Structure 1
Amino acid sequence: MGTDIIIIGLLVVLLLLLASGFWVGLTLGAVGLAGLFLLGGESAASLTGTALWSSINSWPLTAMPLFLFMGEILFRARLADDMFQGLTPWMNRIPGRLLHANIVGCGILAAIVGSSGVCAATVGRMSLPELRRQGYDETLMIGTLSGSGTLGLLIPPSIMMIVYGVAGQVSIARLFIAGLIPGLIIMALFMAYVMFWALRHPEKVPAAPENLKFLEKIRRSSRLIPTILLIIAVIGSIYGGYATPTEAAVLGVVGSLLLAAINGTLDRGTFVNSVIGGVRTTVLIMMILAGASVLSALMDYSGLPHKLAAAVTAMELSTGMLLFGLAILYLILGCFLDGVSMIVATTAVVLPMISAAGVDLVWFGIYLIVLIELAQLTPPIGFNLYILQAMTGKDLMFVARASLPFFMLLLLTLLILSIWPNAVLFLPEMLVAR
């Protein structure tokens, strides 16, 4: 009982420190180290060293800096300009017209940068001035950007999937494949909502310009097509079993360098800034993973996760009730923590409970990432809300109201995945079968 009281007390301190804005990695590590010294005494140093080494000595983790580097290169290669100009000719005959360019654009960019905020900000920089010029409804302009920006967390290659895979010892390749159908479901729901809204409010959608011929559409999309082909090659090499995620990331880096060189944007400044951007983000995530590994070592040493798993099993909760409870927990955590911190701070406690309930860890990983997407749209730390507030000059409540329909559609996605788990597991099981 004394051990449990110490652990619970330390967890309360942890949540208070995180809510106060302390550095996440250092906070996780400090609380874990304090607990190991309180419970483990002389063995604390050995446990800490082993945990830190095992957290960074992971071959699957090497895919993360490579994918980040790939995204940084393409991000600086005028991709946003090419993407918006290439997408707009194909959207003019769909109800809602260029509003769909926000959704599809974020979906494409998600496969490159793996960041929710970067997706919303990058596409928004291109689309907002043009949509305003043409007279589109500002509520839908903002809502489509904030909602679709969350795709950066789900559509592979996703940094969140790599973090979850390493933290939970789950196949990253299976997670990448598992995210494809849910990502497309979310895009389809968003586009369906925009079409429904446009049909109900036709007066708020500008008239379509003259329809372009097919060859003219191809010409305007010519600079976007190579990037899409690169994304397909990277994801396809994993899905086809031709490359591991790390090998596919190398392919992505080489391909992005070639594309940047071909379109004339690869110079010394672009390369150096891409390296610095990738290293900065990698170090930030690695610090969080290292701190979380010490906290996980404390959890393992105390045996609390296994006790909780046994307690949950004894309560005979239905799987649905367990997932509902965890959804509430993560939505609350999302008000204070970023996605990486939410994953690494909870896997040591949550995954044993999920395993004991018989839930597939790949499926739960996608379920968890959709919950983290929801957190991007919830104050007080809804990153997408703040990004759109800064870009549009609107107050936070206006941005939150504009994002509400897309928040509800993400909740609907959770329900769909719960009722139809094969939406997540179909492709990974096919991959294993091959």
Structure 2
Amino acid sequence: MSGIESQRDHEIVIIGAGIIGISIAAFLAEAGHEVLVVDRTGICEETSSGNAAALAFSDILPLASKGVLAKLPGWLVDPLGPFTIRPSYLPKLAPWLYRFWRASGASAQANSLRAQTAMMQLAEAEMLSLIERAGVSNMLREDGSLELYESEAELKAAQPDWDARERADIAFWHIRGKELADYQPGLSPRFVVGGFVPDWKTVSDPKLLGQALWAHAERAGARFIKGEVGSVSASDGRTMVRLADGRVLSAGKLVVAAGAWSHQLARQFGDAIPLETERGYNTTLPVDSFDLKRQLIFSGHGFVVTPLETGIRVGGAVEFGGLRLPPNYARADAMLKKAEMFLPGLNASGGRRWMGYRPSLPDSLPVIGRAKDLPNVFYAFGHGHLGLTQSAATGRLIRDLVSGQTPAIDLAPFNPQRF
């Protein structure tokens, strides 16, 4: 099969079989396009396999507006804190941090908030529809989320986030004291107030969902080959994808959805996109480790605890360290120790540690659009923490662009050339 694939022309080649690439393949295949997906490992095997399983449609505030800049100095002195930068990586990260600071301005925040709100509305509608079309509604959980605070002052500091949700007509309410136990028994008494979002959704397991959505795409005609992309180039109105083993794929249209590695491919087409890598860590414990009712969000500590079909997942936080530095699993261990304090009955033994690479842009918006000089090359990456959440919306938008239809939302804020 690999030899045959390398000898023929393909209508559309998608680089990346994470949740973004899978969703794009599903939308394009459903529309009757001939789609080939290429990935170095497999379907939903890398970063998309280990996320926190949230469909965070109410998470509309950009990262730069969540008080991160004020908290940053304190966090940076704690190598195991919610947000850290490997010291050796700081010089390389400096330009990204400058753009991140620029994105924290009032005007930039307002623009990002409007764009993110529109994206999330589309994301919810498209994801729920895709899940139904794929016949996997049983993998959707609608238990709401509980965001926990250790003081009224901590809640007050987070009030801009709740105000933004209220303006966007996102339902929520705050609960206090002993009432917290009605939403999650077994919490530490250190938590005095919580914000409950009733419409917050999670999935039973992100890897299993991704593979189920791929099965739907495959039934619609999408195909997959395994291969590591070495280089990409344009030639006579087509794009050439050269794999590390020597195979060459010829594509009429190319979609770059390779997550944290995507900017390296975009650079070969002349687009300099300031993508950085948020390295996220987690530990997945056995299913019976705790009677977890819904996703718990410990925003002051930068991590969440999620009930999955396959276990209890404790993870989050942000570490900027690029793609080459080795993992620091002490970060996963630190979150697990906090989870033991916050959930005193948690059995923290028998866990599996993991690290993944979140592709992050300074304004918290992905790039969705065409390459600068090549109308048949499309970019779909940089979703940060929201890849699963925004995957179906991205699939819809890329389908609109490829098919020559008016996109479902204004794509100007997501323009790859905006930087």
Give the TM-score of the pair, scaled to structure 1. Answer: 0.23
Relative to its length, the structure with more helix (as a share) is 1
Q: Which has the larger radius of gyration?
A: 1
TM-score by length of 2: 0.24
More strand by share: 2
